[in-house]
Amino acid sequence: MITDITGYTASIYMRGIRFGFVPTTILALVDASIGGKNGIDVGVYKNMVGIIRQPSFLLHDLSLLQSLPEKEWQNGFAEIIKHACIKDAAMFKQLEQHSLADYMKDKKLVAELVQRNALIKTKVVQKDEFEKGDRRLLNYGHTIGHAIETQYGLMHGEAVAIGMVYASQISEQLLGFDAKERVKALIEKYQLPTTISFDAKKVFEVLAMDKKRVQKEMNFVLLNKIGKAIVHPIPLQRLEKIINKL
């Protein structure tokens, strides 16, 4: 939230001044500080007002994690799991072999993981800054995640975790994805939620206003396999039926 507000304000103040980020959470280190998206929520609608403008610098100081609450470690690992699901099957296996406690106590292990994730996102953004192609894959788990996050008072990582589980279910239904239980098990391992009771009608109403909507279709990120994601257009009418059955 702080990186979004800072980047947005700096981008419009005096028609734009230079800014930089010193991220202090796992979420900001691997995701929020990278890529130049600076968005502000409007009511229950996520990042509806915003701009893409790159920071002048990023300073990653992992010593700042020493005082990070465990809840914020969990929150940030949702984006790490997301990167593994869409781009890095080997990292997915590594996460399965370790635990949150391992990363919290081993400085070298977490440093390597943060760097690996920062490079994944940086490379994607360098190739597709304005989200015309591959960058759209970074939205895995975010379509439904954003629709439930503000309405139900969830942390971003919690909402994305739930969104990834639902997206893996939809991937199974539409693409024959056969590893939804692995995705769910990994999310549970890192102490993140995998489901929530929600009002399907209200969630779909918010989801239908998502920026990824193109006319009567939603560009939904699904998984062919662990480490391989695609953007799959789903007609809104069909998506509404799918949401109602989740």
Q: Which of the following is catalytic: 38, 75, 117, 139?
A: 139
Q: Which of the following is catalytic: 83, 87, 136, 156?
A: 156
Q: Which of the following is catalytic: 83, 146, 180, 212?
A: 146
Query: Could you give the CA distance from residue 76 to residue 137 in angstroms, rounded to a whole number?
Result: 18
- Which tokens is 228 given? 């391989």
Among 109, 50, 97, 103, residue whose Cα is nearest residue 74: 103
Q: Which of the following is catalytic: 60, 75, 79, 82?
A: 79
- Which tokens is 105 given? 């106590």
Cross-strand partners of 49: 40
- Do residues 118 and 31 touch, judged by C-beta distance below 8 A? no
Q: Does 146 qualify as catalytic in the annotation?
A: yes
Q: Does 156 qualify as catalytic in the annotation?
A: yes
Q: Which of the following is catalytic: 60, 87, 121, 136?
A: 121
- Residue type for position 54: Q
Q: DSSP state, 187?
A: H
Among 116, 81, 113, 104, residue whose Cα is nearest residue 188: 81
Q: Does 37 qualify as catalytic in the annotation?
A: yes
Q: Does 79 qualify as catalytic in the annotation?
A: yes
Q: Which of the following is catalytic: 46, 83, 87, 135?
A: 135
Other CB atoms within a 10 A radius of the CB of residue 42 amount to 13
Q: Which of the following is catalytic: 131, 149, 180, 212?
A: 131
* Cβ within 8 Å of residue 13, ≥6 positions away: none
Q: Which of the following is catalytic: 15, 108, 132, 245?
A: 15
Q: Does 15 qualify as catalytic in the annotation?
A: yes
Q: Does 83 qualify as catalytic in the annotation?
A: no
Q: Does 232 qualify as catalytic in the annotation?
A: no
Q: Which of the following is catalytic: 142, 149, 180, 212?
A: 142
Cite the active site residues. Answer: 15, 37, 79, 121, 131, 135, 139, 142, 146, 156
